[in-house]
Amino acid sequence: MSDQGDPTYDNTHRAFLQSLLARQTITFAEAKPVLAAIQTAQTPNRPTLPEDVSQADFEHYVDALNTQISAYDFEIRSTHHQISKERIYALVNTTSDALTQMATVHTPDEIAFVKRVLDAMFETYNTQAAEVMAVTSMQALKCARPPNAEQQRRDSGNQTQVAAPSAALTGSQAQSVLELMVQEGWFELSAKGYHSLSPRALMELRGWLVETYHDQGGEDSDDEDEDEHVKIKFCAACREIVTVGQRCTDLGCSARVHNHCARNLWRSQGGKEECPTCKKAWIDAPAVGEKAARQGARQATNGRMRRSPSDEAQSGAEED
Ligand SMILES: [Zn+2]
Ligand SMILES: [Zn+2]
């Protein structure tokens, strides 16, 4: 392959873009056979084997494509999967957020349901005591109906500019939207039945999440302690959003780190395993992510939040 400074753009790049469009995300390991096949099709008398495709070759393709597609508001971005640690490359729309893109294939009521599921992930199940940022199917399906339908009706009596209330989905409609969110690559479904945002959704929604959930409770909050909890936090090492990882033992401290980034953080601190913000020892750091639901269940001091039998079963299950 050419390793001249200027990345060229030919039919192999177009074919690679096509495969990226079809699959939304790709890892280097997945890209190797794809690029080998594309190059072999280009020069059949000089076949390329998957193992001939180097990381540098792959990155040349990504760079060349980015140069071309930026004019169309697209960019190939990459992030580490928070659990598998693999680097995931995704074709990201740089101007419209994921919710806008979902609107092209889903009805407004379905989008409103997805928004309520996101509220459940990033508000209801993302508190100072437990940053779960994931929901079980049961919890997600509770969002099928707008929680404040009654409230909306009452408010619309006194107020003129109330947004049109969204209609409730039936349980089976909500279930199928949830499944589509997984199929379309926005949500991931864990082995223990939790839905969370995929790496691609986190890349696409980064700005939207910060904008939507960060300023909760600012001026019009009267309960200071509760509302000081900043909803979206970033890794002290890689600066990406943390929805799965570790948090400072001081629950009021905002320091977070991905599990796979912890080693880099200690290295950058000269080997000191302490919180980069408050300097407390980083020992038995509480989990961020679905593990936090189970830790929270164990540490729960009051039973205000009723847990369903299936939640109970999940909380009993031990993690690796
Ligand atoms: Zn990180
Ligand atoms: Zn701290």
Q: With CA atoms as reference, report the closest residue to 98 among 186, 173, 222, 182.
A: 186
Task: Kindly give the distance from the C-alpha atom of residue 252 to the centroid of ligand 2, in angstroms, as a whole number.
Answer: 8
137-181: pLDDT as tens digits: 999 999 999 876 555 555 555 544 445 678 899 999 999 999 999
Task: Kindly give the distance from the C-alpha atom of residue 207 to the centroid of ligand 2, in angstroms, as a whole number.
Answer: 24
| Six token digits for residue 246 | 């570790």
Mean pLDDT rounded to a whole number for the chain: 84
CA dihedral sign, ordered 99, 100, 106, 112: positive
pLDDT at 304 over 90: no
> Distance (Å, rounded) from C-alpha 119 to C-alpha 243?
14
pLDDT at 52 over 70: yes
pLDDT at 127 over 60: yes
Q: Which residues crowd ion ligand 1, with CB under 5 Å? A: 235, 237-238, 258, 261
Q: Give the ligand whose atoms come closest to the C-alpha of residue 240.
A: 1
pLDDT at 95 over 70: yes
Q: Give the ligand whose atoms come closest to the C-alpha of residue 251.
A: 2
Task: Kindly give the distance from the C-alpha atom of residue 294 to the centroid of ligand 1, in angstroms, as a whole number.
Answer: 23
CB-count burial class (<10 Å; 0-12, 13-18, 19+) for 192: middle
| Pick from 18-22, 37-41, 136-140, 260-264: least confident | 18-22
Q: Give the ligand whose atoms come closest to the C-alpha of residue 283.
A: 2
Task: Indicate the fold that domain 101-157+165-301 takes in CATH.
Answer: Arc Repressor Mutant, subunit A (1.10.10)
Q: With CA atoms as reference, report the closest residue to 238 among 213, 264, 214, 203.
A: 264
Q: Give the ligand whose atoms come closest to the C-alpha of residue 274.
A: 2
Residue span(s) of the chain under CATH 1.10.10.10 come to 101-157+165-301
> For the sheet containing 256-257, what is the strand order?
256-257, 245-247, 287-288
Task: Kindly give the distance from the C-alpha atom of residue 162 to the centroid of ligand 1, in angstroms, as a whole number.
Answer: 40
What percent of the chain stands above pLDDT 70?
Answer: 80
